Chain A
Amino acid sequence: MNGFVYLKDVVTLELDREKCNGCRMCTIVCPHAVFAIENKRAVIVNRDLCMECGACEKNCPESAISVRSGVGCAAGIINGILRGTEPTCDCSGSGGSCC
């Protein structure tokens, strides 16, 4: 996405091309164009742009994708540490984006 890249080589996204049926769902749901279709199967083309939202994993009918999804949000991670839970955010819904 236009110019914004966060840290390199940290995301947990994995694709098992063997399982992929080429349905394109991952290319549709990903908000950062991480996937493309090559030779009728999905490939990861922009790995560092992945924000670990989990949409691709959830919508892959062949369970070919795995990613540890969660909120990429410092406040959420602190919340999680304080409460001893997974990172969660306290956002109550602002504008178009949040947590």
Chain B
Amino acid sequence: MKEFFLTGNLIDTVPQVSTVWSKRDLWETIKVRWSVGRMNYKVKPGIYAIGQPSEDAPVFVTGNFKLSFDHVRRALAGMSAWLLILDTKGINVWCAAGKGTFSTKELVRQIELTNLVQIVKHRKVIVPQLGAVGVSAHEVKNSTGFSVIYGPIRAEDISGFMKAGMKATTAMRAVTFSTWDRLKLIPVELGYGKKYLILIPAIFIILSGLNRGGYSVDLAYKDGLRSVFNLFVAYLTGCAITPVLLPWVPFRRFSLKGFLVGMIATIILAWFRLLGSTLLEIISWFLMIGSVSSFLAMNFTGTTTFTSLSGVQKEMKTALPLQIGMASTGVITWIVSKFILL
């Protein structure tokens, strides 16, 4: 099948790639960000040509997640180069390196499969720095004779890196996590809850109808919608507000950050009288929103670029039991509050 981003074939077998994004590329990028059909967004592994590369042209390595491929090919506009795509099962380089699909073994395999020794005269491949999590430069050298040069972390620094004679500056080597980076991740974060989007609100709406006199559909509707709104606020504070405000929220532990933001949100809700009229119900919301927001914020550790496994384990050891305890006490208190007017 001919892919739409290919412009032709160079030396019979190597497909040549366009360095500009078409409308379709852009549209698909947006779809991936919002996780529509995200799993099937792959490029065929192998070697591709950018421009009219000679046997002296540099070889850039990346994974077969189409977004990685797209960013690299766009960054190479105006250059002639080879692009060696590893089979990372459609996953970005960093994740794939962590999972072991962007690996020494796969790099060696593709170098051999594509017969790279015949395509270029030099013996260098440029691997994105984050790929170093899965690739061992000296092992690749031992098995193939190719030296691994670690390129910049971000594709847009590639041209600066090449101009400097394949040297990355300290800034190019550092992972950043700007407000903009975090904003871009929000759609992905919000997507996590998809599975429960109907189920949990439904349960709360049904339970909202309970009262001392039996069951009231009217109450289910009125209190139910209010409850769903409160839950949604907890979801937002944990998944979106805490991540975006991350550097400005005090505490190092994500669970505490999420809890704090959740508490502030709950106070605002209380101010607008959205937590109900009884003391018990108000307390139950503090417990539920606090724990949900704390838990979701803690999950953001998976998306950050600076949390260590040991650190997250340490944090979870105390946070998780507390969150579970608070959430279950909250739910029980909330149900009890339906029957006792306190």
Contacts and interface: CB of A to CB of B under 8 A. Distances in A.
Given A31-B175, A74-B298, A94-B188, A53 B92 contact: no
Given A1-B175, A55-B132, A72 B312 contact: yes
A93 B90 contact: yes
Nearest to B312: A72
Given A75-B302, A93-B38, A7 B252 contact: yes
A6 B33 contact: no
A94 B137 contact: no
Interface string B284-305: 0000000000000011011111
Contact of B177 (A1, A28, A94): A1
Q: Which of B38, B94, B96, B185 has the most CB of A within 10 A?
A: B94
B174 interface: yes
Interface in B84-130: 90-92, 94-96, 98-99, 129-130
Given A7-B315, A93-B65, A99-B98, A59 B38 contact: no
B86 to A, nearest CB: 13
Contact of B67 (A1, A72, A89, A95): A95
A71 interface: yes
Contacts of B303: 73, 94, 97-99
A95 B129 contact: no
Contact of B299 (A7, A53, A74, A95): A74
A34 to B, nearest CB: 11
Contacts of A8: 252
Contact of A31 (B90, B129, B138, B316): B129
A95 B66 CA distance: 11
Given A7-B252, A10-B314, A98-B95, 20 more contacts: A2-B176, A4-B246, A6-B308, A7-B315, A31-B305, A50-B308, A51-B305, A53-B133, A55-B133, A68-B310, A72-B310, A73-B299, A73-B302, A73-B307, A87-B309, A92-B91, A94-B35, A95-B181, A96-B181, A98-B94
A4 B312 CA distance: 15
A10 B65 contact: no
A89 B101 CA distance: 13
Interface string A60-84: 0100000011111111111000000
B297 to A, nearest CB: 9
A75 B136 contact: no
B307 A6 contact: yes
6 contacts: A1-B176, A5-B252, A7-B311, A25-B137, A31-B129, A51-B308
Contact of B174 (A6, A33, A77, A97): A33
Contacts of B310: 10-12, 52, 68, 72
On chain A, which size bracket covers the interface?
A: 35 or more
B313 interface: yes
Nearest to B131: A55
A92 B303 CA distance: 12
A70 to B, nearest CB: 4
Interface string B38-53: 1101000000000000
B13 interface: no
Interface in B126-185: 129-130, 132-138, 150, 153-154, 168, 170, 173-177, 181, 184-185
Nearest to A61: B138
Contact of A92 (B38, B133, B304): B38
B311 A28 contact: no
A49 B177 CA distance: 13
A58 interface: yes
B253 interface: yes
Contact of B308 (A10, A55, A94): A10
A32 interface: yes
A96 B94 contact: yes
B272 interface: no
A5 B276 CA distance: 39
Contacts of A55: 129-130, 132-133
Nearest to A4: B306
Given A89-B98, A92-B38, A92-B39, A59 B138 contact: yes
